[in-house]
Amino acid sequence: MKLISTLFLALSVLAIAAPAPAADKPNDLFQQALVKERTQGNLPEAIKLYQRIVDKYASNHKVAAQALLQLAGCQSKLGDGQARKSLERLVRDFADQKDAVAAARARLKEMGGSGGAGGLVTRRLLADASGVNGILTADGKYISRIDRDTGEVVQFEVASGQTSRIPYKGQPWNADGWSEGAARYLQQQVFSHDGKQIAYESITKDRVPVLRIRNLDGSSLRTLYSGKSNLDSYPVPLDWSSDGASILALRLSNGAKELTLISTADGAVRVLKNTITPEWPLMRRAKLSPDGRFVAFSFIREGGIPHSDVFVMTADGRNEVAIAGHPAEDYVLRWAPDGGSLLFLSDRSGTWDIWTVRIAEGKQQGEPEVLKRDFGYDSELFGFAPDGSLYYTTATASGGLYIGEVDLETGKVLAPPALAATRYAGPAVGPRWSRDGRSLVYLSHPGPIGPGNNILTIRSVATGEERFLSPPLRSMAWPSWAPDGQSILTTGITVKNQSIFRIDAETSATTMLRDQGLAPQLCLDGRTLVFVWDDAVRKRSLDSGEESVVAKTDSERFDLSPDGREVVFQLEGAVKIAPLNGGEPRELFRGLAKTYDLRWTRDGHYITARSGTRIWRLPVQGGTPLKLDVSVPNMVDFVLSPDSRHFAFNLQEGAKSELWVMENFLPAVKTAAKK
């Protein structure tokens, strides 16, 4: 927790550290431990609390068993051999807790492994891997990437833990300009299997997307592929064939997304598969088999409940077959180095685990087997070393939901913001108060499109209890309350499109209100929808379907006045107010910042404008802005309660990452490596 003011820091630490009078109860201690583990990422302190529960409340079998299970998980993440003993005690002493015992037995089996003597082994190599990212080189020596600012290749040496750079000797590199060599808007890069070249995408000064290849030091630069103007046919490199002859790439072309093979000899393009699904980023996981004959990828399979499956097809785009099909979510990770099996991520057991399945001639052989439980959705694979060791990072989200009090007339803080206990670690995105001030809605566990991320959450302000809604949507953004408090509006994504939906706050029943649109809000009449689309604030009658433009804008961060008659928005650095039913906008102010997050107060007298860590109170009828004494690094989504006193904000501090290696689980790799 990194609060900018000393007062906030001191009081917030005291608020978290000081136990409440009734905190020394098993359930309360368990919740405290979860906050330490999941919200703060403080595993040593979480271990102490879990151990305290086990030592003091062993007679409460339900809580003690859960504490032992969590304790073992924390110990395992820290590489502590006590994890096995904790699981063995759970199985031995709490046999009546069947679910916890089953989970413990599964983890113990996993520790025993099936990959030869000693079984699977995981080792933590680096406790703070925040600066380590990229791709594991084919020789397993480095995790490498392009420095977007300099063009140099940054190399993290796995054996020594030291970072070095390959000096850049190519054409002038200016990441913020239009120099020939620069990787402007760099998204993804791939290295050739011999480790001598790198391919990456860029954009020319005429907004033409290109795919470029160069040596590691920047020499021998050439443009392999050029798209069309205005960013059409944008190529994203995904993998490089082992023979160096082709690059697997995702091409974004005319609204379609195409999985392609691009020849490194002449830039010729072969389209393997295309889709128009909003979930096209799943295709970025696609990988070529080591022999270059097959492509594995993830794709949404339609049905009663849409879900992602793993597929394999031949490298000519034919003979597509599903692999390890299951109603759960499955995402392809990597081919094993010998090409004899596929690793994929799945939540079919209730947690995000790594599974493996044997593949022969592009087809599944036998049933899939779990390889590593509780791997986590946000963990990232770097690749296989020649001996079959798999390098990866784990991520523990930081930040969270904070609630405090402020005097809006003076701008002084009355109660410093304190971290609210939440079920999921990390930020609570887009908080909005209900009109009665009794509830907050936000998105828990933010992340990419797919289940388990961006969970629509309703929180009781009085008790802190959270309820999780489960609408049939693949992802959501910009939640807001309907005026009656009975439903929530959101931009949602289905398999086929992005639309505006109304979601029942009790049943999760979902109704589509409009195809496409951002940041939806509903007027007091319950029949007029206001939203942003195509650079304008718009309104739509839900009865007639008639639409009109309210005002032009260059941001989706607008707000509807409490009486539903006006909107506040921004355009070219100016904050303006416009009547909803027609009329010229009037400028409220400009010059304090370039962009703002705007929110109307419930009494309609003021607007709060946040830019970064600064927040101003703006009189609606004009006057001098007042800067509030609420300034917290990494703060976003500042919102006032209807009482104009309590406030909530979302703190986004990134994630704590650790570098790990998984060893001794692919015996076939060792055999192949000796040949």
pLDDT at 32 over 60: yes
Kindly report, residue by residue over 352-386, the tens digit of the pLDDT. 889 999 999 999 999 999 888 888 877 889 999 88
CB burial readout 127-155, b (16+ within 10 A) else e: eebeebebbbbbebbbbbbbbbeebbbbb
- Please give the residue that has the higher pLDDT: either 556 or 110: 556
Do β-strands 510-515 and 518-522 pair in parallel, antiparallel, or remain unpaired?
Answer: unpaired
* DSSP H/E element including 455: strand 455-460
pLDDT band at 148 (very low <50, low <70, confident <90, very high): confident
CB burial readout 417-456, b (16+ within 10 A) else e: bbbbbbbbbbbbbbbbbbeebebbbbbbbbbbbbbebbbb
Greatest mean pLDDT among 177-186, 249-258, 392-401 lies in 392-401
Distance, in Å, from the CA atom of 354 to the CA atom of 508, rounded to the nearest integer, reads 31
3-state SS assignment for residue 167 = coil
State which fold the 16-112 domain adopts.
Answer: 1.25.40
Over residues 421-449, the mean pLDDT reads 89
In the chain, the percentage of residues whose pLDDT exceeds 70 is 88
- Please give the residue that has the higher pLDDT: either 350 or 580: 580
Q: Domain spans of the chain?
A: 16-112, 141-276, 397-656
Kindly report, residue by residue over 41-65, the tens digit of the pLDDT. 788 888 999 999 999 998 999 999 9
In the chain, the percentage of residues whose pLDDT exceeds 90 is 52
Q: Tell me the average pLDDT of the chain.
A: 85
- Listing DSSP states for 39-103 in one string gives IS--HHHHHHHHHHHHHH-TTSHHHHHHHHHHHHHHHHHTT-THHHHHHHHHHHH-TT-HHHHHH
Judge if 16-112 and 141-276 fold alike in CATH terms. no
Angle of helix 98-112 relative to helix 61-77, nearest 10 degrees, comes to 20
- Please give the residue that has the higher pLDDT: either 654 or 621: 621
8-state DSSP, 281 = G
The three-point CA angle 171-174-179 to 5° equals: 55
Of 352, 551, 539, the residue nearest 452 (C-alpha): 352
pLDDT band at 445 (very low <50, low <70, confident <90, very high): confident
pLDDT (0 to 100) of residue 275:
79
**The CATH number of the domain covering residues in 141-276:** 2.120.10.30
Which range among 26-40, 283-297, 330-344, 377-391 shows the weakest confidence by mean pLDDT? Answer: 26-40
Kindly report, residue by residue over 190-236, the tens digit of the pLDDT. 999 888 999 998 887 777 888 999 999 999 999 999 888 766 788 89
pLDDT at 120 over 60: yes
pLDDT (0 to 100) of residue 669:
42
**The CATH number of the domain covering residues in 397-656:** 2.120.10.30
